[in-house]
Amino acid sequence: MARWQGGWLALAAIAVLWAAWPQAARAFGDEGSFHPRVLLTGTASWEGARRSGSSQWSWELKRRTSAPARSVPTAVRADTSSLLAEPFVVWAGEGPVAPLTPREVDNLRRFFAIGGTLVVDDAAPETGQFGRDVRRELGRVLPDAAPLALPETHVIYHSFYLVPRPVGRIEGAKKVDAVVRGGNTQVVFLAHDLLGALAVDPSGIPAFAAVPGGESQREQARRFAVNIAMYVLCSNYKDDQVHAPFLMRRRGRGVP
């Protein structure tokens, strides 16, 4: 019961702030909405059926919580200044990952230094090569922080829904590994193909089967996605979304 109350209190706080802001602040608030940007490195592009997954992530958040979210999420390249404009990004893909360029390493290091959060979503966890390669490259970005398993008590499991374990298109590992720095969870490693569970075809039908649990598993994946979004919103914008750059820097210094 306490966990449910905590989730609803967090949502209520967001709703009160959102309703209280004047129209000018809400216009700026587009930049403070949940925005599951897709991170692109090297020559990678973001195409195919999973492309709809990030839009569905936003849609599920708005439908279930009324929290602000971008309807049409964008992609952002790791070596551009745009990466630093917002505090959340998703690095998704499958297969081998080319080594990051020095500029990409430096820019990602800056992103984490000001409090950014990254979710790594392996679209082919059955082989796991993407996840392994991304861990290798993030080890170059954050050599001082090794991934550790998040405990079951972590807020990501109960920020809105009570979710007993992570799931996606596949059931995957029972726990989430993460990089925690200064008390902040900055990198979340998923071996479940979360965007694959969220993705739909042009007619709105799920693009991929959820195995082995079918539609009940997909519902749990949607709930887990909402929890991640609520964690990002509450972690970075709980005081005032207009001051997002300040909040990101404060979070980067480990200040609660």
- What is the token pair recorded at 9? 């209190």
pLDDT band at 13 (very low <50, low <70, confident <90, very high): very low
Q: Does residue 85 carry a pLDDT above 80?
A: yes
Q: Does the pLDDT of residue 31 top 70, yes or no?
A: no
Query: pLDDT class for 218, splitting at 50, 70, 90?
Result: very high
- pLDDT average, residue stretch 79-107: 96
pLDDT surpassing 60 at residue 152: yes
Which CATH architecture fits 2-252?
3-Layer(aba) Sandwich (3.40)
d(CA 76, CA 81): 9
Tell me what the pLDDT averaged over the chain comes to.
Answer: 84
Contact between 141 and 112 (Cβ < 8 Å): yes
**Window from 34-43, 128-137, 237-246 with minimum mean pLDDT:** 237-246
Reduced to 3 states (helix: H, G, I; strand: E, B; else coil), residue 111 is helix
Flag whether pLDDT at 215 surpasses 70.
yes
Beta strands in 130-239 (DSSP E): 148-149, 177-181, 184-190
Q: Across the strands, what pairs with 178?
A: 148, 188
Closest by CA to 231, choosing from 95, 142, 117, is 117
In one letter, which amino acid is 190? L
Q: Note the pLDDT of residue 238.
A: 33
pTM over 0.85? The answer is no
In sequence order, which residues have a C-beta less than 8 Å from that of residue 204 and are 6 or more positions away? none
What's the maximum distance between 2 C-alpha atoms anywhere in the chain?
Answer: 49
Q: How many CA within 13 A on the CB side of residue 156? A: 26
Tens of pLDDT, residue by residue over 114-124, are: 999 999 999 99
Domain boundaries, the chain: 2-252
As a whole number of angstroms, the distance between CA 73 and CA 227 comes to 18
